[in-house]
Structure 1
Amino acid sequence: MTASIVRPFQNADLPGAEAALIEVHGTDGYPVEGVDQPASWLRSPDVLAAWVAEVGSKIVGYVAVMRPHGEGAVSLWVQHARSDEEHVAVLARLFVIKEARRRALGEKLMEAATDYAQSRGLRLVLDVMTKDTAAIHLYERLGWIRFGEASHRYGDDRQISAVCFVSPA
C-alpha cells in the first residue's frame, strides 16, 4: 500500500487539488459551489492556512482554515458562546477523493487544521449540508459539537439546510 501524508499546501499543489475537487464533486456533489473556478475557490483570499493529503505523489484531499465573515455557523457560535469573530475561524473545503478514503485522511486533515487553530487561540466552526451524512458522521465521531442549524447559501440565491458544528474545546 502506498504511503499517505498530510502536509501544508504549496502553490505547486494547486493543479492536483483542483483535479481532486472536481473528482469529489463528480462522485459526491460536494461542493455545491466553486467547481467552475476551482483555483479561486481553493485559494480564496480568506484562506488563512491549508493542507493537502497525498498518496504517492497524487493530491487526494484538501482542507482550509478560513477567516470568518459572520455567516451561518460563525454568527450562531458568536451568539451561543458570547464570543467574537476574533476568536473564531472556519474549517472549510474539506474533501478526500473516493479511492483514497478509509485511510483516515479526512481525520488527519482535520487534525492539522485543528492544531493550527488551537495554536492561535481560535475555535473552529463549520456548517455541513444535511445531505452530506458521511461528513456529519466524521465530525461527530471526532467529538465536534453540533450546536445549531443554518442555511448554506451559494450561487444565485440558492440555499440548502446545514448543521453547524464547533471543534472540541
Structure 2
Amino acid sequence: MISPIVRAVQDADIAGAAAALVEVHATDGYPVEGVERPKEWIRSSAVAQAWVAEIDRRIVGHVAVMNSRGEDAVALWHARSASDEAHVGVLARLFVVREARGRAVGETLVRAAMDYARQRSMRLVLDVMTKDAAAIRLYERMGWLAIGRTTHRYGDGRQIAAVCYVSPAG
C-alpha cells in the first residue's frame, strides 16, 4: 500500500484539490458550501496555510488552517482560555476522497496542520457537523477536546448542528 505524500499546497495543485472536493461532496455531502466555486473556496484569502495529500500523483485530500473570522469555535475557546486572536487558528476544509480512506490520509493531513500550529504557539479550533461521525471519531482519537455545540450556518439560511473542538495542548 502506497503511503500518502502530504505537502503544502502549490498553485499547480488547485485544480486537483478542486476535483477532489467535488468528488467528496458527491459521495458524502461535505462540504456544505464551496462546491459551486471549488477553486476559489480552496484558495480563500482567509487561508493561512493549506496542505494536500497525494497518492500516485493524484490529489486525494486537503486541509487548511484558516485565520480566525469570528467563528463560534473561536469564541468558545476564547471564553475558556487566555488565548488571543494571534494564537488561535481554525482547522478547516479537511476532505479525503473515498478511495483513499483507511490509509491515514485524514490523520496525516491533520497532523501537518497541528505541527504548523505548534511551531507558531497556536491552538487550533474547529466545528464539525454532527452528521460527520467519521470526522468526529478522527478528531477524538487524535486527542481533540469538545468545547461546546453550535449551529453551522450556510447557504440560503440553512443550518445544521455542529460540535466545536480544540486541538490538544503542546
Using the size of structure 1 for normalisation, the TM-score is: 0.97
What is the aligned partner in structure 2 of residue 80 from structure 1? 80
The count of aligned residue pairs is: 169
Give the secondary structure class of the aligned counterpart of 2:26: helix
Give, in angstroms, the shift of residue 62 of structure 1.
Answer: 0.1
For 1:8-40, what per-residue CA distance to the aligned partner results, in whole angstroms no more than 9, with x for missing partners? Answer: 110000110000000000111000000000011
For 1:113-158, what per-residue CA distance to the aligned partner results, in whole angstroms no more than 9, with x for missing partners? Answer: 0000110111000000000000000000000001100111111222
For 1:142, give the aligned amino acid: M
- Contact between 2:3 and 2:103, CA under 8 Å: does it hold in 1? no
What is the aligned partner in structure 1 of residue 115 from structure 2? 115
What is the aligned partner in structure 2 of residue 160 from structure 1? 160
For 2:35, give the aligned amino acid: V
- Contact between 1:70 and 1:85, CA under 8 Å: does it hold in 2? no
- For 1:22 and 1:148, how far apart are their aligned partners in 2? 29
What is the aligned partner in structure 2 of residue 136 from structure 1? 136
Question: Which runs of 5 or more structure 2 residues have no equivalent in the other structure?
Answer: none
Give, in angstroms, the shift of residue 71 of structure 1.
Answer: 1.6
- Is 1:7–2:7 an aligned residue pair? yes
Question: Which runs of 5 or more structure 1 residues have no equivalent in the other structure?
Answer: none
Work out the percentage of aligned pairs sharing the same amino acid. 64
For 1:152, give the aligned amino acid: H
- For 2:138 and 2:7, how far apart are their aligned partners in 1? 20
What is the aligned partner in structure 2 of residue 60 from structure 1? 60
- Is 1:90–2:87 an aligned residue pair? no
- For 2:158 and 2:67, how far apart are their aligned partners in 1? 22
Question: For the aligned residues, what is the CA RMSD?
Answer: 0.9
